[in-house]
Amino acid sequence: MTCSQFSTTPTLDDVSRGGSQSGDFIGSTSIIPELIRGFDGCPPTYERVKIGIYSGRIPAVKVGGRWMMDRARIGEVAAAFGLTPKASAPAHAPHSAVEHAV
């Protein structure tokens, strides 16, 4: 499945607008790079993020003419778009059998 095959905006039915859990806000234009850094999967386009905000499906508050999201809720936003947290890299990757044979 390619990114362009997603045709619907995801929902966050159980998440209401507004209210900060952490007080650490991120602007709507910065959410996509944050999702790319922390989550695996096909990130949403800015258009899809905007539609989610305008429809109330993505939790955001308007601060001084700018849409802001609580950074503590980025996992909810990622899950709404079908993204999963990136796995941590192992501290020491095991050597392959080929390397042992050499």
Q: Is residue 20 part of a domain?
A: no
* The residue to which tokens 């778009």 are assigned: 81
CA dihedral 67, 30, 87, 57 (to 10 degrees): 20
Q: How many CA atoms lie within 13 A of 37 on its CB side?
A: 6
Q: Is residue 27 part of a domain?
A: no
pLDDT at 89 over 90: no
Helix (H) or strand (E) holding 12: none
Q: Is residue 16 part of a domain?
A: no
Nearest residue to 69 (alpha-carbon basis) of 40, 45, 78: 78
Beta bridge partners of 27: 68
Beta bridge partners of 86: none
| Position 45 confidence tier, pLDDT thresholds 50, 70, 90 | very high
Q: Is residue 70 part of a domain?
A: yes
Please state the domain count of the chain. Answer: 1
pLDDT at 1 over 70: no
Predicted TM-score of the model (pTM): 0.62
Q: Is residue 92 part of a domain?
A: no
Contact 75, 15 (CB under 8 A): no
Output the pLDDT for position 86.
92
Q: Is residue 4 part of a domain?
A: no
pLDDT tens per residue, range 10-27: 333 333 344 445 568 899
Question: Which residues constitute the domain of residue 40?
Answer: 33-84
Output the pLDDT for position 88.
67
Count of CB atoms situated within 10 Å of the CB of 32: 16
